[in-house]
Structure 1
């Protein structure tokens, strides 16, 4: 049985892929490059030459690009093999997809990178390209039990992606483990310089926007994790600066949406006029308002300053990736507020699959300083080693 048929059969229930690539020709040549032979799935707002990239919309049902997005070009040059295209909500901002959660098929995988999250969380591929403007990488990673990465703004190449918001849009990654995540980051990011795993780590605890929504069992799982990780060079703190940040970040999810809607409205209005059926696009167009956009950008600027002040005395921040595990049903992709903070601030964030609540995965979110992507990954390695030791 061919690899393609096997992948198609495994995906029959999840429906994570919109297109599965033909397997590469079998020859005697040994794959070369740092990612030699690594299968990578690609969210279908990111161009792959010769594959259907429809942006999740019937308006572009026949679109097949001639050239690769820059991220795809770098992956191929490093020896990776493109496994196929994964589902997205329309234009990475629509309502939902047909994709199911690999850990409970009746629950959402999150979005908008639904297929990327489900494909990795379900074990179909070890890594997938995603994107994030609000919660589109961290949320599906959290819901599907995978590692998710949202970089510092513009740290990873965006050329060849469908973009809506210059302030918020970023390429993201969903990976099966931290090692493969960093290997791919080293290929995609310019001048990636891995940092040594720190011997000591000062971790700041934060709540972020909508941090009052987690259920008691979710908060209890996080508290138990913190208790396990505390010690052996890792200390957890809750400083006045972090408390102030949580107060100022309240309502930031709405500010993020105001920016997203305001900056995308012109493009989305064209799609709505052309007949795009997803109601979320009309909602965003109707919500867009220049005065709201100005106020949201001002709120963002104040938060960026508060974040820099609050993170001076810590190495990394820790909180939940999402308010709770994946909700039941496929009618929505879940709450976006907590993972949206990193996009609003332009800081690197990582979702680690360290919790289980009600039998479902629940991610733990780590946030770093702007531009500190390598340092965030190094901190994640230290915490991951401690988590494995104490499991």
Structure 2
């Protein structure tokens, strides 16, 4: 019995790719993997507080069902965390708000249904900031419990970083996948807008909302992407040549802390040494104006999406969210349209401005995770690319002065998600991360 428990404890640190292969081949069972993850949660949850809901019996029952099935699926036995704004038919979905305490959806969100169909085990629901906004909850950074893990996908990111699950679902409206992934030292992927279905995901700002992934490897991002899209899994082939990289510091460069600047510059040097062509890349001037209108778009669309909660349960919303919704209500529709026109114009321009670059290298966060659990960090280095609908990924390649992770961000043209995976693997090899 002790040997089985030790084996289960080791399995929680495997990647999703390793787990699915091992379960499919019979090297170990989905039940053993799930037990290993549950043991890790039991050991570390008091410190990390990543989970809103977890039922060990339910998780193990799912795993046993996978073990009893001949065709185990692409994600055979892979435990997955699900952000608690995403509907699950057999678990509560609380939106990080007392308004939805005990709420039980009748059906799974599309993304959850796809994961189950591929053989995944939904381990539980992970903590989210209130309605995937900025009001933080209880989750701590696994590397330093005195610091934020980032938000709003706080629990998903922390659970993956702490080896509680190999992958988890998050959402990004500003920077809620990439920022916490950088703070916690894992891979975070925001695909091209509208790649994954959002049916069954509580909306924030619907012109920006994107389902994303937290993982520890690029291979796992590709694996789960294939499951979510219900397509044959064929990893992107290796780069036929070193990439042409646009070094895009943006107008916010001077606001970045030294560790972020070092992460980007050292990555550029390593990529250049490995054969990449590095070009300085400047965005057109009007892109800087996006920072001025993002708040307007976000607030206006949140106010529309949450009209019912505002009308019936306003007093149960945080003061911070109330202020955001009031700003949205007070924003004239014409001002919103002007902001949308600028954003849509920049999107068209973006597809024409890569200028022969395969990918852009750019900062992802200001620096290391901030001290305290109230401030989840600034979304500015991520929100720009979310507005442009392009695919982005953060890779854990650097550490700051406190020894905490600092990532870099790679940005590809719209719908070039598959190429971004190949370039990401090449980049990690070049940097030696």
Displacement after TM superposition at 1:344 (Å) = 0.3
Given the alignment of the two structures, is residue 256 of structure 1 paired with residue 328 of structure 2, yes or no?
A: no
The question of whether the paired residues in 1 share the 8 Å contact of 2:84 and 2:125 is answered with: yes
For residues 201-350 of structure 1, what are the structure 2 equivalents within 5 Å?
Answer: 201-208=243-250, 210-238=252-280, 242-245=281-284, 247-273=285-311, 274=313, 275-288=315-328, 289=331, 290-350=333-393
Given the alignment of the two structures, is residue 381 of structure 1 paired with residue 420 of structure 2, yes or no?
A: no
Given the alignment of the two structures, is residue 36 of structure 1 paired with residue 80 of structure 2, yes or no?
A: no
* 1:290-323 Cα shifts (integer Å, max 9, x gaps): 2331222122123213312221310011111112
Name structure 1 gaps, 5 residues minimum: none
* 1:74-124 Cα shifts (integer Å, max 9, x gaps): 111111111110011111014111100111111111100000111111221
For residues 175-194 of structure 1, what are the structure 2 equivalents within 5 Å?
Answer: 175-189=215-229, 191=231, 194=235
Q: 1:163 to 1:209 in 2, by over 3 A?
A: farther
Q: Distance in 2 between matches of 1:257 and 1:332?
A: 17
Q: Which structure would you say has the larger Rg?
A: 2
* 1:244-287 Cα shifts (integer Å, max 9, x gaps): 43x33224233222111111213335324412231222121222
Displacement after TM superposition at 1:187 (Å) = 1.0
The count of aligned residue pairs is 385
Structure 2 residue corresponding to 1:115, chosen from 151, 155, 158: 155
After TM superposition, the structure 1 stretch with the greater mean CA deviation from structure 2, 249-258 or 324-333, is 249-258
Name structure 2 gaps, 5 residues minimum: 6-34
Calculate the aligned-residue CA RMSD, in Å: 1.9
TM-score (norm 1): 0.93
Displacement after TM superposition at 1:200 (Å) = 2.1
What SS does the aligned partner of 2:430 have? Answer: helix
What SS does the aligned partner of 1:97 have? Answer: coil
For residues 15-164 of structure 1, what are the structure 2 equivalents within 5 Å?
Answer: 15-22=49-56, 23-25=59-61, 26=64, 29=68, 32-164=72-204
Displacement after TM superposition at 1:332 (Å) = 1.5
What SS does the aligned partner of 1:355 have? Answer: strand
Q: Distance in 2 between matches of 1:178 and 1:72?
A: 20
Displacement after TM superposition at 1:209 (Å) = 5.6
Displacement after TM superposition at 1:189 (Å) = 2.5
Given the alignment of the two structures, is residue 11 of structure 1 paired with residue 45 of structure 2, yes or no?
A: yes
TM-score (norm 2): 0.84
Q: Distance in 1 between matches of 2:431 and 2:274?
A: 12
Larger helix proportion, structure 1 or 2? 2
Given the alignment of the two structures, is residue 360 of structure 1 paired with residue 417 of structure 2, yes or no?
A: no
Which has the higher relative contact order, 1 or 2, with Cα contacts under 8 A spaced 6 or more apart?
A: 1
The question of whether the paired residues in 2 share the 8 Å contact of 1:137 and 1:148 is answered with: yes
What SS does the aligned partner of 1:243 have? Answer: coil
Q: Distance in 2 between matches of 1:11 and 1:121?
A: 13
After TM superposition, the structure 1 stretch with the greater mean CA deviation from structure 2, 124-133 or 284-293, is 284-293
* 1:53-85 Cα shifts (integer Å, max 9, x gaps): 110000000101221111111111111111110
